[in-house]
Amino acid sequence: MDSAILRSLSRIWAGILAVIYDSRSYKVFSAISSYLKNAAHNSLILGYFIKPSKDAEPGIFQSKLYSLGKGKEGILKSTGRFIGRTIRRSSLACILYDFYSNILFIPMRSFGLMSVTAGSIYIILTGILSEIGPRSIFASALLVSAGLLMMLFKSGIHEILNDSIAVRFISGRPEVLSLLNLSDRRKNQNHYILMIILGSLIALFPVMLPTFYAAAAIAALLVVPLIFIWPVLGLLILVISIAFIPTMAAAGLILLTWIAVIVNCALGRMTLSGVLKKGRPVLLFIFITLIGGIISFAVADSIRIALIYTVFISSVYLFISMIKDKVMFKTTLILSGAAAFLTAVYGMYQYLTGNIQAGWIDSEMFAGIVRIYSTFENPNVYGEYLLFMIPIALVFFFSSRRFIYKLFWFGAGLAMVAAMLLTMSRGCWIGLAAGVFIYFLIADRRYLWLFFAAVVVLPFVLPESIMFRLLSIGNLEDSSSLYRLFIWLGTFRMLGDYWLTGIGLGTKAFSGIYSAYAYNGILAPHPHNLYLNIMSESGITGLICLGLITIKSLKYSISNAISANGRELKHAGAAIAAAFTGILIQGVFDNVFYNYRIVLIFWIFTALAFVFQNIMKDETEEPNG
């Protein structure tokens, strides 16, 4: 229950809004806004994005690709049946499946036995194979103490979490773990033997392996089997960890999730039927990407990049196949926003402590200015990440009904905006302003006054360093602006010869060819422009295909947000559109696909746009069904 203070703050906020909405200036603003809305509906271009989506017939090439995939269906089904039979006949596989599928119902005392076993065996192995020190004594004592404490509880993890006030507060749901459909797996067995085996392995890894690999092995031992039981966990772990893990770890997690999906399809627990059909344009872009790797001027490097891109792009189909309802859709957004909040906190830590690497700025023109980059090693890349994530904070601030949730997401959004300002990324600032404008325009035009009020007020309250940086946009005395201009001119000259097919994926292919076309001898690893980069790598076909996918994603998010009845869905669709708007504008000033993690986030948001379309389609069909 909210406190009296929170209720008072909520009433004050409601009173402020009431005064604003009753004002004459707001009524004039609302009339102008309504006129512009009607004009947009009648516009040929804007009307396309606003009017409800209809499933279009696929093009000839898309149909051929889809038919090719469909032609392999018989082989895949036969392979799936073989895998299913093999797993069912394996006693070990059945035991492990039974254990991990019921792991949330296993009594805590069993986990206590695992922890005590790990602590005891760890100290013994350390004494035999090396030397017992303070760290090993502390680790062993911690494991044994935690295990003894857990042995006092008979309840399972599922029951403890569902009864937890903290979990209910964070999720806003009384049965948060119902997402995993656990009702048919409630066996409540102890599995003492397996717990002792697991405890022994947990003790063995730190003794035999370096710390990092030991931690990875323990995580794999506990988490990987759970992803095989519930593949959707792979996606949830991906969205919350993408800001913190290396590129290849993210690719490995996607591949692991794909393997888990294939195994579950083989066992008849899920199906991929119709998934490829829902993402036909994406399949075409995968084909273009692979071609770009093969016909490259630096084939070895480009093929490696093409395979990484293919793995990342394929995640679209994972999201379409497993994020099928509003609860999972909302959960995905919440985890993404929470992770972004953590990066903002770390960015603030960097700024306040000075634990930051200097660079990425004209040292003569902007002396004394520092730029935070949080977990992304580059301020521009971090700003691009925040372009996707800040709209998520807006979703839950404006759509949450409880004031305490609004307060949290207000704080999270404020921290992200502050981090965005401290990146000193001017292109990202412009992208954020455009994205926020689009967000309010779609979600609730009544709040556009907040946007215009911020535009008027911020110049008077922002630090001088930020205003100086903002006013330098377009100033060719800034070496970074002049640097980009010369690179763009050189890239245009290069594309005069390679506009049709491009030169291949990656910096090696670009650097090798671009050097012959460079202006003023200025060399670069990429064009510092998303659209020039796509055309350089994949030619005009790649640019057109990506453009069609982006237009379709914007169409799905905008049209469905406008037609949505629920406030939460309307704001969620507006957030996806805002994220795409921001990143596409930033793409004019920089190559946002230079960083692999931003590439993956782009395709995750593409997937969310497709998922949003499917959810809204199901919403409209339910009353008629």
Per-residue pLDDT tens digits for 393-405 = 999 999 988 888 8
| Residue 550, pLDDT score | 95
| Residue 143, pLDDT score | 93
Pick 88 or 221 by higher pLDDT.
Answer: 221
| Residue 293, pLDDT score | 93
Alpha-carbon distance 317 to 477, whole Å? 46
Q: Please say if the pLDDT value at position 584 is more than 90.
A: yes
| Residue 84, pLDDT score | 64
323 CB-contact burial (10 Å; exposed 0-12 / middle 13-18 / buried 19+)? buried
Measured CA angle at 429 (ends 49, 592), to 5 deg: 70
AA identity, residue 443: A
Long-range CB contacts for residues 81-87, cutoff 8 Å, separation at least 24: 81/266, 82/266, 83/262, 83/263, 83/266, 84/266, 84/267, 84/268, 87/263, 87/266, 87/267
In sequence order, the β-bridge partners of residue 107 are 156
Q: Please say if the pLDDT value at position 544 is more than 50.
A: yes
| Residue 569, pLDDT score | 92
The residue assigned the tokens 């290069």 is 494
| Residue 625, pLDDT score | 47
> Shortest CA distance to 179 belongs to which of 165, 160, 158?
158
Alpha-carbon distance 335 to 99, whole Å? 27
- List helix spans (H) across 102-191: 108-129, 134-150, 157-162, 165-171
Mean pLDDT, the chain, rounded, equals: 83
> Shortest CA distance to 241 belongs to which of 340, 156, 313, 317?
340
318 CB-contact burial (10 Å; exposed 0-12 / middle 13-18 / buried 19+)? buried
Alpha-carbon distance 125 to 118, whole Å? 10
DSSP 8-state secondary structure symbol assigned to residue 274? T
How many other CB atoms are there within 10 angstroms of residue 551's CB atom? 14
In sequence order, the β-bridge partners of residue 156 are 107
Selection from 52-56, 111-115, 273-277 with the highest mean pLDDT: 111-115
CA end-to-end span of the chain, whole Å? 38
Pick 69 or 408 by higher pLDDT.
Answer: 408
Q: Please say if the pLDDT value at position 598 is more than 80.
A: yes
| Residue 366, pLDDT score | 47
For the whole model, what pTM was predicted?
0.86
| Residue 361, pLDDT score | 53
| Residue 482, pLDDT score | 79
| Residue 362, pLDDT score | 46
Pick 10 or 72 by higher pLDDT.
Answer: 10
Q: Average pLDDT in the 309-319 region?
A: 95
pLDDT digits (tens, 9 = 90+) for 328-366: 999 999 999 999 999 999 999 998 888 777 655 544 444
| Residue 506, pLDDT score | 92
Count of helices and strands (H, E) across the chain:
28, 0
Selection from 201-215, 232-246, 261-275 with the highest mean pLDDT: 232-246
Pick 221 or 455 by higher pLDDT.
Answer: 221
pLDDT digits (tens, 9 = 90+) for 258-312: 999 988 888 778 888 778 777 788 999 999 999 999 999 999 999 999 999 999 9
Q: Average pLDDT in the 142-151 region?
A: 93
Pick 83 or 2 by higher pLDDT.
Answer: 83
Q: Is 504 left (phi over 0), alpha (psi -120 to 50) or beta?
A: left
The residue assigned the tokens 């009845």 is 565
